[in-house]
Structures are given as C-alpha cells and as structure tokens.
C-alpha cells in the first residue's frame, strides 16, 4: 500500500547551494548557432512525446508522434520602427497564444507538421499549455492531459483518436474538454493568494508498485504571497555567511500529486506536494517520472531567474529520487541538478523531458551569435527542437553520455492499431 499520509520532501537552500553550474557530467553540450529550424512559420517549445501510462514512448503503426506547444510566427505584427522583424518580441509573446499541435515521423526525427489537436474554440480558455498525451489502447484513442490557462489555470483533459495511413497521421475527436481540478488553496496556492501563482503541466502515470493512476503537476505551496516562512527545515545545513535570504519568501515552488478514483482518470483527489522549494525556487515545471532499478526518479524543469536570493542555478532539468512514490526523496547529484545549460549559453535550451530510455529532449530558446562587424554578442531565437542527449541514471547520480540528432525522439515500442471498420 502506498503511504498517502506523507510529509513533502523539502528541497533545502543548503541542497541548492551545491548546484555547480558547469559540471560537465550535468551540463548540456553547447548548441551551435547554426541549428536547423523545424518550421520557419512556427515557434515550438514544450514537447510532449506520445506515451502510455506506464511511461513507454510509443509510435502507432510505425509513426512516432509528438505534441508541441506552438505559436504562429507573426512578423507582420512584430515589426519595429525601423521596419525590421523583432523576433524576440514575437517569441516572448508566444505564451499568450500557445496552441497544442502534433507532428509525426517515420524515423523519430524528421517531423511533419500535423496541425492543431483541438480546433479553435474547443478549449475553454485563451491558452493551451503543457501536459501529456497518453495512448490508451489499440483503437488509437488518446487522452490529452493539458492546462487551460487565462482566465484561471485548470488541469483538464480531452479525448480523441489518432488515425494512421501510409501517408501519415491525422486526429479525430478532441472536441470535448473535461476540467479535472484547480488549485485548492489548502495544499496549492491559488490566484487569490498570489496573482503570480503557478499551477499546470499534468503528467499522469500508473505507479508500477500499486497499479493506481496518479499525476504530478507544477504548483506553488498554498498561502498568501510573501507569507511563507523559511525555517530551519527549508534552510538546511548552510555554511556561515548564508543565513541571509533576502526576498526568498516570495519563492514557493512545489511538485504536486493527485490520485485518480480509477484508471479512467475522470475523477481526481488532490494530495499534498511531493517536493517543496520554499525559499529556493518559484517554479518546478513539467514534473515527470522515470521508473528504473526499483526507484522513482522525479524530474522537473526550472529556471535561473526563478531561484531565490542567494542561490543560483542554470535553466535545465532537476531530479529527485526515492524508493517510494510518496518519498522521502533525495536531490539527485546531491544538489538536484541533472542537466543544465552551460553558463556561456544560459538560455540555449529549456523544457527538458527525460524519457525512460535515458534520452532527454528539449527545445532551443536562444543561442548567442557574434554580431557582424562588431565585438558585441547578439543571439538567435530558436523555437525548434534541440539536439537530444542521453543521460545515465545510476543510483542517486546522473551522467551525461551522448549527444544525438536535433529533435530525436524515437519510440520505445510500436503499437499496431486495429483499423476502424466503417
Ligand atoms: C515551460 C512552461 C510550462 C507551461 C508553458 C507555457 O516551458 O512554462 O510550464 O505550460 O511553458 O508556455
């Protein structure tokens, strides 16, 4: 039986002080500024490979499928006074017009754009934010868990179907969005408690031990903004000179947990956070699991700019490991850092997703380039898939071992669909 009467694991300031930004075993190799772009008319960022509830990355009838947060590039709208396209302004604006689209490929890397998953008007709010597409069965049915944002932030799901042919993949259905839950104000901070609250990014999974359906998601610890207390437990064993925390009470990230009533996943009960980052970091985004060697590896992405005063770490993916679903967890590599950007290119990639085969996908954000005829650095905006890398998980540690192709997300298993008879 899973112990549901647990205390969250505290990611302490002392743990985070161990983050070492340029450790080669936890640093993503430099992404070159001459990267290829998947589609000149689109920005893509958070990438969601099709998977089953046990985490296996799957293809259907030999087609790999990924879902991405996507925005149409809008050079007409983002033209500056000099008549130039301000791609940075366009890129920074993308969150407000995010749509979930899908792509398919035969080789797990030559992605063909499939279009939107939901038609305009289906999703009830203005933004379609990250989540997880789950292949349910051999009929090709998919539950897309995602986040409906602005107004509010609601974890939701929509069911549809993937249809394959020799030419590619199309979608059917995805026309009826079901709201699952919002932040409760008891465990997870609400908009009323903090207008900058974070509540999103559902990642459902079946616990390999108890067989029940759960999901992890991004939250903030409940309580009014600025009222969180950084006590001894949140501080950890810090060295002399590290007791001043500045405005650290404003950062209160956490990884949330919910359990479903049954394997249909239509009714959910919110549980306490698994890991909290009060006084450490304000965002623990897109949490997800890898189950390996009888361990629970819980990953989450976070930013340099969301760390608290007195702490510093790269944009990248962080990990926590336990022998039990509900913890206690240990920060991987002692600090939590699993794979960060190099300090010379601090924004080169983001939104890493660690897959059960050790491959880690992410998107390119921006890569520095030399300005022509000048010593100044400029940067090139990505909005496309980054090179995939491979890491190895060994007990509480991880090691970066290989760089692969851009956007390489191979299936671990192919599912042959039963054709629908009309
Ligand atoms: C991560 C993220 C997610 C969110 C999305 C919004 O890159 O911030 O947490 O769902 O991007 O664009």
Per the CB < 8 A criterion, the answer to whether 316 and 304 are in contact is no
In this predicted model, what pLDDT tens digit does every residue of 169-206 receive, in sequence order? 999 999 999 999 999 999 999 999 999 999 999 999 99
Closest CA to 320 of 256, 218, 396: 396
Indicate if ligand 1 lies below 6 Å from the C-beta of 46.
Answer: yes
In angstroms, what CA-CA distances link 338 with 56, 140, 320, 407?
A: 21, 34, 9, 19
Q: Report helix, strand or coil for 5.
A: coil
Indicate if ligand 1 lies below 6 Å from the C-beta of 147.
Answer: yes
Give CA–CA dist 199/219, Å, rounded.
5
In this predicted model, what pLDDT tens digit does every residue of 337-371 receive, in sequence order? 999 999 999 999 999 999 999 999 999 999 999 88
Q: Report helix, strand or coil for 396.
A: coil
Q: What is the CA radius of gyration of the chain?
A: 21
Atom of ligand 1 nearest to the CA of 95: 12
In this predicted model, what pLDDT tens digit does every residue of 62-116 receive, in sequence order? 999 999 999 999 999 999 888 999 999 999 999 999 999 999 999 999 999 999 9
Known catalytic residue: 141?
A: no
Question: Average pLDDT, whole number, for the chain?
Answer: 97
Give CA–CA dist 215/50, Å, rounded.
16
Known catalytic residue: 285?
A: yes
What phi and psi values does residue 308 have, to the nearest 5 degrees? -75, 165
Q: Which residues pair with 270 in a beta bridge?
A: 258
Give CA–CA dist 204/392, Å, rounded.
23
Q: Which domains, ranges and CATH numbers included, belong to the chain? A: 9-235+247-415 (2.115.10.20)
Give CA–CA dist 124/145, Å, rounded.
14
Classify residue 51 by its DSSP letter: B
Indicate if ligand 1 lies below 6 Å from the C-beta of 251.
Answer: no
CA–centroid distance, 219 to ligand 1, in Å, is 12
In this predicted model, what pLDDT tens digit does every residue of 153-167 receive, in sequence order? 999 999 999 999 999
CA–centroid distance, 99 to ligand 1, in Å, is 12
Per the CB < 8 A criterion, the answer to whether 223 and 193 are in contact is yes
Atom of ligand 1 nearest to the CA of 198: 9
Indicate if ligand 1 lies below 6 Å from the C-beta of 365.
Answer: no
In this predicted model, what pLDDT tens digit does every residue of 261-310 receive, in sequence order? 999 999 999 999 999 999 999 999 999 999 999 999 999 999 999 999 99
Q: Using pLDDT thresholds of 50, 70 and 90, give the confidence band for residue 419.
A: confident
Closest CA to 64 of 138, 164, 153: 164
Mutation choice for ligand 1 from 97, 147, 351, CB with most ligand atoms inside 8 A: 351
Which one from 15, 46, 128, 143 is the annotated catalytic residue?
46
Mutation choice for ligand 1 from 91, 96, 100, 130, CB with most ligand atoms inside 8 A: 130
CA–centroid distance, 130 to ligand 1, in Å, is 6
Give CA–CA dist 335/392, Å, rounded.
17
Mutation choice for ligand 1 from 285, 304, 316, 361, CB with most ligand atoms inside 8 A: 285
Strand ranges in 165-315 using DSSP code E only, listed in sequence order? 169-181, 200-206, 213-220, 252-260, 268-278, 285-292, 295-302
Q: What pLDDT score was predicted for residue 420?
A: 65
Which residue's CA lies nearest to atom 1 of ligand 1? 351
Are β-strands 9-10 and 268-278 bridged in parallel, bridged antiparallel, or unpaired?
A: parallel
Mean pLDDT of the 8-24 span: 97
Token pair for residue 161?
């179907």
CA–centroid distance, 98 to ligand 1, in Å, is 9
Indicate if ligand 1 lies below 6 Å from the C-beta of 282.
Answer: no
Residue 422 pLDDT > 60, yes or no?
A: no
CA–centroid distance, 46 to ligand 1, in Å, is 7
Per the CB < 8 A criterion, the answer to whether 75 and 40 are in contact is no
Q: Which residues pair with 340 in a beta bridge?
A: 27, 316
What percent of the chain shows pLDDT beyond 70? 99
Question: Using alpha carbons only, what angle is made at residue 18 by residues 14 and 21, rounded to the nearest 5 degrees?
Answer: 140
Token pair for residue 35?
């990267």
Q: What pLDDT score was predicted for residue 421?
A: 54
Instruction: Tell whether pTM > 0.95.
Output: yes
Give CA–CA dist 66/301, Å, rounded.
19
What percent of the chain shows pLDDT beyond 90? 96
Which one from 128, 207, 234, 285 is the annotated catalytic residue?
285
In angstroms, what CA-CA distances link 193 with 66, 96, 156?
A: 35, 22, 22
Give CA–CA dist 221/276, Å, rounded.
7
Token pair for residue 199?
């509540």
Indicate if ligand 1 lies below 6 Å from the C-beta of 306.
Answer: no
């Amino acid at each position: 039986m899973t112990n549901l009467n647990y205390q969250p694991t505290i990611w302490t300031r002392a743990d985070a002080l161990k983050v070492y930004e340029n450790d080669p075993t936890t640093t993503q190799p430099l992404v070159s500024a001459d990267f290829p772009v998947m589609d000149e008319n689109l920005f893509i960022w958070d990438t969601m490979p099709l998977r089953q509830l046990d985490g296996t990355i799957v293809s259907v009838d030999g087609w790999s499928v990924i879902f991405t947060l996507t925005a149409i590039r809008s050079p007409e709208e983002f033209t500056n006074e000099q008549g130039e396209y301000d791609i940075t302004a366009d890129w920074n604006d993308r969150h407000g017009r995010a749509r979930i689209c899908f792509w398919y490929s035969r080789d797990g890397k030559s992605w063909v754009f499939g279009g939107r998953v939901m038609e305009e008007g289906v999703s009830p709010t203005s933004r379609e934010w990250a989540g997880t597409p789950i292949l349910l069965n051999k009929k090709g049915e998919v539950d897309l868990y995602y986040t409906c944002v602005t107004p509010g932030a609601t974890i939701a799901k929509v069911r549809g179907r993937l249809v394959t042919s020799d030419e590619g993949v199309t979608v059917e259905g995805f026309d009826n969005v079901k709201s699952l839950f919002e932040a409760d104000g008891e465990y997870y901070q609400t908009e009323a408690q903090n207008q900058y609250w974070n509540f999103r990014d559902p990642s459902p999974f079946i616990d390999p031990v108890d067989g029940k359906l759960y999901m992890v998601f991004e939250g903030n610890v409940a309580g009014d903004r600025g009222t969180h207390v950084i006590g001894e437990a949140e501080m950890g064993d810090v060295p002399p000179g590290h007791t001043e925390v500045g405005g650290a009470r404003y950062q209160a990230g956490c990884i949330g947990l919910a359990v479903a009533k049954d394997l249909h996943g239509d009714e959910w009960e919110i549980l306490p956070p698994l890991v909290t980052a009060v006084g450490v970091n304000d965002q623990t985004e897109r949490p997800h699991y890898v189950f390996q060697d009888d361990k629970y590896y819980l990953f989450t992405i976070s930013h340099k700019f969301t760390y608290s005063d007195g702490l510093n770490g790269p944009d990248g993916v962080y990990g926590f490991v336990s022998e039990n679903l509900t913890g206690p967890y240990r920060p991987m590599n002692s600090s939590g850092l699993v794979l960060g950007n190099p300090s010379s290119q601090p924004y080169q990639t983001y939104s890493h997703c660690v897959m059960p085969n050790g491959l880690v996908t992410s998107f390119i954000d921006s890569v520095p380039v030399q300005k022509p005829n000048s010593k100044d650095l400029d940067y090139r905006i990505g909005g496309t898939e980054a090179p995939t890398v491979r890491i190895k998980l060994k007990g509480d540690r991880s090691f970066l071992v290989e760089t692969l192709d851009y956007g390489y997300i191979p299936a671990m298993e192919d599912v042959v669909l039963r054709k629908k008879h009309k």
